[in-house]
Amino acid sequence: MFVLDGDVFITNEDKQEQLKKAITGYGDNITSLRNQALQHIKQLKLPENTQPEKYLHKLLISINNLDNEDEIIEVAKEISWEQDSHNYLFRIIKRLDYDKSVGYTKIIDLVSTYCQDEWQGYIYEVYTWLEEKVPEVRE
């Protein structure tokens, strides 16, 4: 499986164009390989014209039902606009001096716990593919 983060190469046509660049050549065999590859591409579902980092930031700052406001949310609320969308999450991680993998894990834990409906919509295509392939994924 290939997972796309959902902000580029959204349509099958976009994906096919990229596959033509990765799987070069001509003929029925090449066309068959591209079609097979296309079936293994899944993507996260974002609102239109939104980058993943900006979307996750938006979800973070929407969390307001914690008894003790989480420091990640507090820092996220200080960030109102970033020219480079990657900075929406990177600045939080850097400010709190987290290792990159730890920071992203903490952010995903918060969003998946407190924004369950949005999170389920975001991961739906990937989750259902995994669930079909590995039934033990079910909770």
Residues 4-40: tens digit of each pLDDT: 999 999 999 999 999 999 999 999 999 999 999 999 9
pLDDT band at 47 (very low <50, low <70, confident <90, very high): very high
End-to-end CA distance of the chain: 21
What would the mean pLDDT of 111-116 be, rounded to a whole number? 95
* Tokens matching residue 43: 């993507």
pLDDT band at 139 (very low <50, low <70, confident <90, very high): low
- Distance (Å) of CA 33 to CA 21, 29, 72: 13, 6, 44
Distance from chain centroid for Cα 90: 15
Distance from chain centroid for Cα 23: 25
Domain boundaries, the chain: 2-43, 52-135
pTM: 0.87
